[in-house]
Structure 1
Amino acid sequence: MSMQLKSGLWLQQTQKLAMTQELSQAIELLQYSSQELAEYLEEKTMENPFIQIETPPMEYFDRWRSRKQTKRIHDDKNWIEQIADHSYQLADYLRLQLSGIKVSKTIQRVLDFLLLNLDDNGYLTIRPEEAAALLKTSVDEVQTAVSIIQELEPAGVGAYHLQHCLLLQMDRDTNAPPLAKQIIRFHFHEFAEKKWKGLSKTLKVELSDIQKASDYIQTLNPRPGAAFQSSRSNKYIIPDMSVSMHGEKIELKFLDETMPKIVFQKEYFQEVSNNHDQELKMFLKEKFQDYQWLLKSLEQRRETIQKVGLKIVEKQRDFFLKGPQNLTSLTMKEIAEELGIHESTVSRAVRGKYMQTPYGTLELRYFFTNAVPARDNAEAISSRRVKGLIENMIAQEDKKHPLSDQEICDRLKMEGIMISRRTVAKYRDQLHIPSSSKRKRYES
């Protein structure tokens, strides 16, 4: 084999290797969220001394610091079906209040122990007898420490369960309706299950009186510890793009300012390049090439995400103009075919990417939906659109006569959406909306 042929083969193999490495890097970067990308670039600066990251100014992060939102029919007032998942430094807040209270060393030791046994809702997870046995102290001393915690803010903290939590709050409120106290103390389960007709007979009161008591109870906090949410669970989302509305015109902007940028340190590179060491020159060449590949991969990532974002806006035009209930059926395959790219590329492009919309900050995956059959299969209606319609129907219903699942089903059929009552019930459950019997209000 001639030297010329060997050189040609070596060059061809080198080019193939470079292309494979570049393609692999581009694929890797595409699937990263903005946070993962920042972490990846930080790692690259450790490997390449000539790469520097320019971090976006903090005002950009403050500007876009909003949680992922999806519109739901329920809000904070409807807390009975919702119990929080995380708490944030509640124990520290309680310790701060306890610092102004003088107690014995024994009680202080019990207090410290109990604070470590509060769950995410602010409830105690250990009974006085258990705590006393573990601490080798008396139950009375534990009870004293529990009483101290239950006097702290937020009201309701240190309860053993929801019923106890509500009672602690009502005990502090001089305006708490006596009927509300009676209901929670002696008829909690009947009340929660909304067996109000039987309850009204037992208590010899009108249904409207129970409704008034319920309205008051709904003002109480069922999870006092949830206000102290953990920074690890309280994740702020930085959108990759934003949509703004100008009449019938929809404008998509890629938020470059929130993305970390890489800069090549030319002066440092040139300074080191003056050295004539061959190994160093090869090292410098390799690092400069790494930078170029990375820059190209970042640009390719940006272009792909932007193209996918534009297609989403184009395909989901009614969503942006008319609201979430108008989300239409859309698949990644459909986007891939129109853009002339592989479906897996679309999947990577939407993973962990967010769009700021008039209806909240939504993950791009939100816009790709399953479909349910429509009348004569003439069109596909997205499950999210159906859920949006169900939400709107329930929001506008007469609360004295809430819509049953069958009535919702019948109304959807009039809209050309043929789904079963069971599917309506499933979607309602997924939206965390109670059944019609639990939504009913009893007014006088």
Structure 2
Amino acid sequence: MRLEANLYQHQTLKLAMTQELTQAIALLQYSAQELTSFLEMKAMENPLIQLESSNVKLLDPHHAYPKNKRLNYSERDQKSWLEQIAEPSKSLQDYLFMQLTMKALTGKQKYLINQIIYNLDPNGYLTIDLEEISKLCGTSLVEAADCLEMVQQLDPPGVGARNLQECLLLQIERVNEAPPLVKTIIQDFFLEFAERKWKQLARKLSIELSEIQQAADYVQTLEPRPGSHYQTEKPHYVVPDLIADIQDGELSLHLFEKHLPTVHFQKDYYQAMSTYKDKQVKDFLKDKTQDFHWIRRSLEQRKETLIKVGISIINWQQDFFFKGPSYLKPLTMRDISEEIGVHESTVSRTVREKYIQTPFGTFELKTFFSTGLASSTFSDQEQTSAVQVRKTIQELINNEDKSRPLSDQKIADLLKQLGMEISRRTIAKYRDQLKIPSSSKRKRYD
């Protein structure tokens, strides 16, 4: 065998993931808050970067702004800064302790009640056994029970309950007009009632099904989570990255950047440091200048890509912007990537945690990507989206005969008549997503 060393030349194409390219990809997928944090960090590292921030009034993502009224962000409301100050919130515990301030309690009772109140979950239910409370406080079980009764007499009615049954009973006992039958059913036949074994229950109580239906209607007026109204979680606000506006029947799109800091070059610092002849200083200035220009280029590329993706989404989803969310069409990220000539992963990074303000409210860009469902009467361009199917299911159930509610199979048959080929199991899945109970639990006995 003859072995020889030879030189061969061949051409290959590969992508080298430089540090700048890696950072550019990360910058593209940053949300507004993440991008702001990144720029602030860069400004601390690079003395040539100066950030200029502007305060902006936050938008409620669930609010629908008028179609014909363009928001003027340049006119600052003199009181808008007050709206961004955290509003003092009252927790459930604070509300309960406030009601106890006028009660004459012994030190032992205060200690027991503190243990009870601080062991309530956000819904107002007691999450610890009375036996454990009495052991922790070194008191008798009777004393612990007496203190729990004090808490259960406070507002909101039902607070301090250990389960749903007790929560409902506490509320029923506080209301004089509660029908006597309701207390009997909840107290002695709660499981049969909750599982809707109403025919069996009617025979036991020798009453009509319509009377149980009336009791059920009353129970629906009670609050199963009495403490939920006192949760201290702040409302979620977002600032849109894009604004889609309708002017004279025309749809326009523009970037909204006032929530982002503006990047400036520190000329004074650069000129002052340039006077030094030290090589390390010159290398430092060169490196930081390149860093500044890279950030400016990456920000411009981010804007350009975001605008391209936004325009493409609008082109695909025009009915959504003119008629409303129920007209959302099937759309994939591949559709967008092919239209604007970028990789699908680029679209995915672009829409991550980005928002667009529309005439019908503020939505996350991911909202506009909905899979299509098979349809016998729609063309490929007019497929039925999952959103439309859920809307149709909701409408069918809203208009059904409550004494003979539609089964999942019946809904599937009706959708088929409308040209939507949906399986019974898919109907059940969408119904669960809409938080609609099964047909047996929707039936009424009026």
Is the structural similarity TM-score above 0.5? yes
Which residues of 2 match residues 286-435 of structure 1 at below 5 A? 286-375=287-376, 378-379=379-380, 380-435=383-438
Per-residue deviation, 1:429: 1.5
Question: Aligned with 2:227: secondary structure?
Answer: helix
Identify the residue that residue 65 of structure 1 maps to in structure 2: 60
Residues 245 and 253 in structure 2, CA contact (< 8 A), matched pair in contact too? yes
Identify the residue that residue 12 of structure 1 maps to in structure 2: none
- CA shift digits 1:30-77 (9 cap, x unpaired): 11122222222232232123434444424x21xx133699xxxxxxxx
1:41 counterpart = 2:39? yes
1:156 counterpart = 2:151? no
Question: Aligned with 1:224: secondary structure?
Answer: coil
2:171 equivalent among 161, 164, 169: 169
Alignment coverage as a number of residue pairs: 406
Per-residue deviation, 1:239: 2.6
Identify the residue that residue 121 of structure 1 maps to in structure 2: 123
Query: Which has more radius of gyration?
Result: 2
Give the Cα separation in 2 of the matches to 1:198 and 1:54. Answer: 72
Give the Cα separation in 2 of the matches to 1:243 and 1:206. Answer: 57
Residues 134 and 141 in structure 2, CA contact (< 8 A), matched pair in contact too? yes
Per-residue deviation, 1:268: 4.4
Give the Cα separation in 2 of the matches to 1:172 and 1:159. Answer: 14
Which is worse superposed, 209-218 or 372-381?
A: 372-381
Question: Aligned with 2:420: secondary structure?
Answer: coil
Residues 1:442 and 1:361: Cα distance change in structure 2 (over 3 Å): farther
- Across the aligned residues of Structure 1 and Structure 2, the Cα RMSD in angstroms comes to 2.9
Q: By percentage of residues, which structure has more helix? A: 1
- CA shift digits 1:221-265 (9 cap, x unpaired): 211222233437x54333322334568643434322233433444
Q: Share of identical aligned residues, percent?
A: 50
Identify the residue that residue 437 of structure 1 maps to in structure 2: 440
Per-residue deviation, 1:272: 4.5
1:186 equivalent among 168, 185, 188: 188
Give the Cα separation in 2 of the matches to 1:364 and 1:68. Answer: 16
Per-residue deviation, 1:341: 0.5
Letter in 2 for 1:179: L
Which residues of 2 match residues 4-43 of structure 1 at below 5 A? 20-43=18-41
Give the Cα separation in 2 of the matches to 1:442 and 1:50. Answer: 75
Give the Cα separation in 1 of the matches to 2:154 and 2:53. Answer: 42
Per-residue deviation, 1:343: 0.6
Q: Identify unmatched segments of 5+ residues in structure 1.
A: 1-15, 70-86
Q: Identify unmatched segments of 5+ residues in structure 2.
A: 1-14, 65-88
Question: Aligned with 1:257: secondary structure?
Answer: coil
Residues 1:269 and 1:203: Cα distance change in structure 2 (over 3 Å): farther
Question: Aligned with 1:129: secondary structure?
Answer: helix
Residues 25 and 294 in structure 1, CA contact (< 8 A), matched pair in contact too? no
Residues 1:204 and 1:317: Cα distance change in structure 2 (over 3 Å): farther
Give the Cα separation in 2 of the matches to 1:173 and 1:405. Answer: 38
Give the Cα separation in 2 of the matches to 1:332 and 1:260. Answer: 29
Residues 168 and 186 in structure 2, CA contact (< 8 A), matched pair in contact too? yes
Per-residue deviation, 1:112: 2.2
Residues 1:193 and 1:54: Cα distance change in structure 2 (over 3 Å): farther
2:104 equivalent among 99, 102, 105: 102
Residues 1:203 and 1:153: Cα distance change in structure 2 (over 3 Å): same
Give the Cα separation in 1 of the matches to 2:360 and 2:399. Answer: 19
Letter in 2 for 1:413: K
